Structure 1
Amino acid sequence: MKNSISRFIFGLFYFLAFILVLFISIFVFNPSGVSLGAIFQRLGGLFNVEQTYNNTSALFTREVVQEESAVTSVVEKVSPSVVSIVVKTYDFDIFEGPSSRESGIGTGFIVESSGLIITNSHVVEDSEGEYSVVLKDGTTYDVEEIHLDEITDIAILEITARNLPIVEFGDSDNLKVGQRAIAIGNALGKFQNTVTVGVVSGISRQIVASGGFGLPSKVYESVIQTDAALNPGNSGGPLLNSAGQVIGVNVATTAGADNISFAIPVNSVKPILEGFLKEGRIVRPYLGVYYSMITEEIARIRSLPVGAYISRVVPESPAQDAGLKRGDIIIKIQDRQLNGEQSLATALAKFKVGDKIELEVDRDGEIIRVSLTLEEVPRE
């Protein structure tokens, strides 16, 4: 009896020792992070342990695939609506005679199936050039009419076509820093439908673009900043959100700086297009004042409100008819605060000719409200 008990105790001791050695082996000689269940399974299923797997790598891969799928879906959806803009120019050589050459100079996108295309005005500003657009499938159309709005750097091109695929507009007023931004364009004037991906790096930026060759510089107000790379030839192309909606018109990149590019907010383009569809030409709303913006810093130093200081009122303008005076400070338009991020011109660009608006004005420290109807910019 005693011998049986002794054998049982020794057997139990050896069994426990085996288990101890096994566990030490698992935790000391398992640098690869293989799960406990997997090890037991490899040992022949000695124990019935629920298997758990380290899914970190698999989850990461799945997230990458989903992200890439989202971008490719946007590109597949929008690319047919993006066009390359080509210009033909003519030269005359005293020895070889006249010659012509074509070059890709920019990008545009289709906004009406009958053949209306949005791009930058600086892309098509050569009045002596002959312009055409090339679709993704290689189909080429001559540009028949060009309508420029040099103030916003937006142009509307007309071609004769039918059933063209169009883009969908988003809402640039609701952009968030850090959200996805996708740019499609004719990079370097050679590579059609080049795609770059980044994020919205900033909103309501103000930049000054050099005109070059003695041309005047241009100030862009309230533009979108993105780190999606833009190259020469991308100008006029769409900046898209992750839903494939246009949130901006690519316009400029900063020379000498990586990953800093800019786009005109699409909400500044919408009233231009709406006015064109109604009038058949680009019309801009007109207030009739000369002004300077009072920034927060100036306001603090001078004890003034932030807003647009009126330095002159144009005779026979909506501003004069409404009673605005030199020295008035426009604080708000339709309850939209004017400040460093939204100037008077930027705020007005969101309205159309004929819109009735209400201004909140500081006149010698007294707040007054002025109502007026926006008119069309007088033709010269």
Structure 2
Amino acid sequence: MKVRARGAVVSATALLLGLTGGGGSAYAQDLDPREIYEQAAPGTVQVLGKNYAGSGFIYNPDKGLIATAAHVVEGESSLKVVVEDRAPAPARVVGIDPCQDLAVLTFTSPQSDLKGLKFGPSKELQTADEVVSLGYPQALGDNPTAQKAAFTSGSVQNPNVVNAEPSVSMPRYPVSIQHSATVNPGNSGGPLLNSKGEVVGINTLSALQAQGQFYAITADHARPVLDVLAGGDIKNSPGWDLAAVDDPDLLADYELPEDQAIIEKAQKQLADAGVTGVLVQSAKTNSPAGKAKLTEGDVVTTIKDTPVTTVAEVCDILQSAEPGATLPMEGVYSYNADGKETKFGEAWTTDLVLSKKQNTG
């Protein structure tokens, strides 16, 4: 199925339930908007996968390391990164943790003359501080790379959103920034910048039913996680991409009307049958999910004898499991049933065997 550019959108009602109320500074003084754009745009990249498109930014140009949101690349079998007006360059995941919604990428082949962005202290942000979002919104037409990084500006609305669970299809976010610098579909994974041009957050999602509410993982939280992922850690990532069956915004993930019709019909059939769980949207062939024979359209209903209805509940199980653990799973077929050997709603069981080492994927 053809899926939209990744810029997660969530219900404002669900999001508000989660609300509570690094590196050194790279520049000595505030910059005007044009200076911020000219300084940061060369290091802001477009991330292209088979299923999704999103954004990211180079934070270590010497090693070619790119930070992005995990939901931009999770489950993708191949990736390319576009830097400014260069041709798309093959890239790979160095480390990923979907339960933190963070990932580190690098180029398959060394790239010259890369420009990097510097992290700033997000703990110094205050309500009403000016911020800037950069990213590559969903492109129109047949050439998704024929565009430049888009600039939007706004202000901090809440610098300290704690333990938000904004959507049944997203993980919990330990600390995030609520702001008004527009994050469009395709902008997920791009940088949120302060007035000095420093990265103070990594944009992740927007509130679908509330105008001008957007969210970024704080730089102070993200930076140590990225440091670990840059070492090659693959955490809480069996190689699948999941969404909750009961997600009211699930159709927004799909671009083509015919795919939306399939998903809408499947949601209704599952609801009529009283089935809840998480939908497998993709599974990499050689990953633990692929080896468990999971495919697009499978609905996971229990893991380790525990019912799962949200991605956060799946994360709770994965984060408590030991490397190499075997997790019994139950579920049902949905739109992937062929009507002959498998039927819609028919039950299945499998074992998900986690990697013994974090850095093996």
Higher RCO (C-alpha 8 Å, min separation 6)? 2
**Identity percentage of aligned residues:** 30
Equivalence for 1:165? 115
Equivalence for 2:171? 218
2:193 to 229, 232, 240: 240
1:1-380 equivalences under 5 Å are 70-88=32-50, 105-113=53-61, 114-128=63-77, 130-159=78-107, 160-161=109-110, 162-189=112-139, 190=144, 191-206=147-162, 207-211=164-168, 216-277=169-230, 279-281=231-233
3-state SS of 1:187 partner: coil
- Superposed CA deviations along residues 254-285 of structure 1, whole A, max 9, x for unmatched, are 011110000000111211233345x443679x
Task: Provide the TM-score with structure 1 as the length reference.
Answer: 0.49
3-state SS of 1:178 partner: coil
- The letter for the 1-side match of 2:38 is E
Equivalence for 1:48? none
The answer as to whether partners of 2:95 and 2:229 remain within 8 angstroms in 1 is no
Give the structure with the larger strand fraction.
1
Distance 1:138 1:163, change over 3 A: closer
3-state SS of 1:79 partner: helix
Residue 151 of structure 1 and its aligned partner are, at CA, apart by: 2.1
Give the structure with the larger helix fraction.
1
Distance 1:234 1:184, change over 3 A: same
The answer as to whether partners of 1:272 and 1:283 remain within 8 angstroms in 2 is no
In structure 2, C-alpha distance between the alignment counterparts of 1:73 and 1:172, rounded to whole Å: 20
Q: Which 5+ residue runs of structure 2 have no aligned equivalent?
A: 1-29, 237-355
Task: Work out the number of aligned pairs and report it.
Answer: 203
In structure 2, C-alpha distance between the alignment counterparts of 1:72 and 1:282, rounded to whole Å: 37
- Superposed CA deviations along residues 230-263 of structure 1, whole A, max 9, x for unmatched, are 1110100000011100000000000111100000
In structure 2, C-alpha distance between the alignment counterparts of 1:378 and 1:173, rounded to whole Å: 33
Residue 188 of structure 1 and its aligned partner are, at CA, apart by: 1.9
- Superposed CA deviations along residues 2-51 of structure 1, whole A, max 9, x for unmatched, are xxxxxxxxxxxxxxxxxxxxxxxxxxxxxxxxxxxxxxxxxxxxxxxxxx
- Superposed CA deviations along residues 59-114 of structure 1, whole A, max 9, x for unmatched, are xxxxxxxxx9700000000100000111235xxxxxxxxxxxxx6x1000001113
Distance 1:153 1:69, change over 3 A: closer
In structure 1, C-alpha distance between the alignment counterparts of 2:44 and 2:90, rounded to whole Å: 16
- Superposed CA deviations along residues 152-201 of structure 1, whole A, max 9, x for unmatched, are 10000111323411001100111111111000011124553111000111
**RMSD (Å) for aligned C-alpha atoms:** 2.8
Distance 1:217 1:121, change over 3 A: closer
The answer as to whether partners of 1:275 and 1:283 remain within 8 angstroms in 2 is no
Task: Provide the TM-score with structure 2 as the length reference.
Answer: 0.52
The answer as to whether partners of 1:184 and 1:239 remain within 8 angstroms in 2 is yes
3-state SS of 1:203 partner: strand
Q: Which 5+ residue runs of structure 1 have no aligned equivalent?
A: 1-67, 90-102, 285-376
Residue 131 of structure 1 and its aligned partner are, at CA, apart by: 1.0
Residue 141 of structure 1 and its aligned partner are, at CA, apart by: 1.1
